[in-house]
Chain A
Amino acid sequence: SQKIEQNSEALNIQEGKTATLTCNYTNYSPAYLQWYRQDPGRGPVFLLLIRENEKEKRKERLKVTFDTTLKQSLFHITASQPADSATYLCALPPYSSASKIIFGSGTRLSIRP
């Protein structure tokens, strides 16, 4: 069956460093992958979408890569700030449907000043 795995442990890094979060999936090849940010007590907020034929996508300090051979996406935040502290979720469509997405369990990121 399909599985999405994100770093289960929280990631703590120093302000100014690059944070790298991992999303691994198994058992199929999605057409795209999305990344969301979720703050405590709030719903997820869409950040980026990357398609299967794109290797890399950037938005301001965010960079996402998509390696369909490794079945992995990496999410990078450069020059990290305490305000970047949140849980980051990856999401991708299941093989059975292209119109819905399945979320990973998320990685909690803490940026210390």
Chain B
Amino acid sequence: EAGVAQSPRYKIIEKRQSVAFWCNPISGHATLYWYQQILGQGPKLLIQFQNNGVVDDSQLPKDRFSAERLKGVDSTLKIQPAKLEDSAVYLCASSLVGGLAVYNEQFFGPGTRLTVL
């Protein structure tokens, strides 16, 4: 079974530039998550999709971050404009079911390491 795919693996940009990350979840997984992981910290949830609808985006800085999941499969996360403090690893995860099925394990991709100069 193929895992969660993410690209690019690394990205270096200057502040105020824009950047986009792509995620392809495990086939058949209804729930998709984007996390931000700053060095030395645990992953922080940015946004959670159930199929192509947003379940939770309470910690997404909506003035600069946006995400979409068209057709309930692939997803993109965009930052525009980037700030220095956005330097982090951006992780995508998926789970078979979300919502009321509370015990689902999450499968993570390898992440995209973003450096903002």
In residues 1-58 of chain B, which contact A (Cβ within 8 Å)? 4, 31, 33, 40-45, 48, 55-56
CA distance A104 to B48 in the complex (A): 18
CA distance A58 to B35 in the complex (A): 28
Q: Hey, which chain B residues are within 8 Å of A113, CB to CB?
A: none
Q: Hey, which chain B residues are within 8 Å of A45, CB to CB?
A: 108
**Minimum CB–CB distance for B75 against chain A, Å:** 15
Q: Hey, which chain A residues are within 8 Å of B108, CB to CB?
A: 42-45
DSSP class of A's interface residues: helix, strand, loop or mixed? loop
25 contacts between A and B (CB under 8 A): A4-B42, A32-B103, A41-B111, A42-B110, A43-B110, A43-B111, A44-B43, A44-B106, A45-B108, A46-B106, A89-B42, A98-B102, A99-B31, A99-B56, A99-B98, A100-B48, A100-B55, A101-B106, A102-B42, A102-B45, A103-B42, A103-B43, A103-B44, A105-B41, A106-B42
CA distance A93 to B99 in the complex (A): 12
Question: Among the interface residues B33, B55, B105, B111, which one has the most CB atoms of the partner chain A within 10 A?
Answer: B105
CA distance A102 to B37 in the complex (A): 12
Binding site for B on A (CB under 8 A): 4, 31-32, 34, 41-46, 49, 51, 89, 91, 93, 97-106
Q: Hey, which chain A residues are within 8 Å of B44, CB to CB?
A: 103
DSSP class of B's interface residues: helix, strand, loop or mixed? loop
Quick check: B103 and A49 within 8 Å, CB to CB? Answer: yes
Q: Hey, which chain B residues are within 8 Å of A102, CB to CB?
A: 42, 45
Quick check: B100 and A43 within 8 Å, CB to CB? Answer: no
Binding site for A on B (CB under 8 A): 4, 31, 33, 40-45, 48, 55-56, 91, 93, 98-103, 105-111
Q: Tell which of A32, A34, A100 touches B45, judged by Cβ atoms closer than 8 Å.
A: A100
CA distance A103 to B59 in the complex (A): 14
Q: Hey, which chain A residues are within 8 Å of B93, CB to CB?
A: 43
Quick check: B48 and A99 within 8 Å, CB to CB? Answer: yes
Q: Hey, which chain A residues are within 8 Å of B33, CB to CB?
A: 100
Q: Hey, which chain B residues are within 8 Å of A106, CB to CB?
A: 41-42
**Minimum CB–CB distance for A41 against chain B, Å:** 7
CA distance A109 to B44 in the complex (A): 21
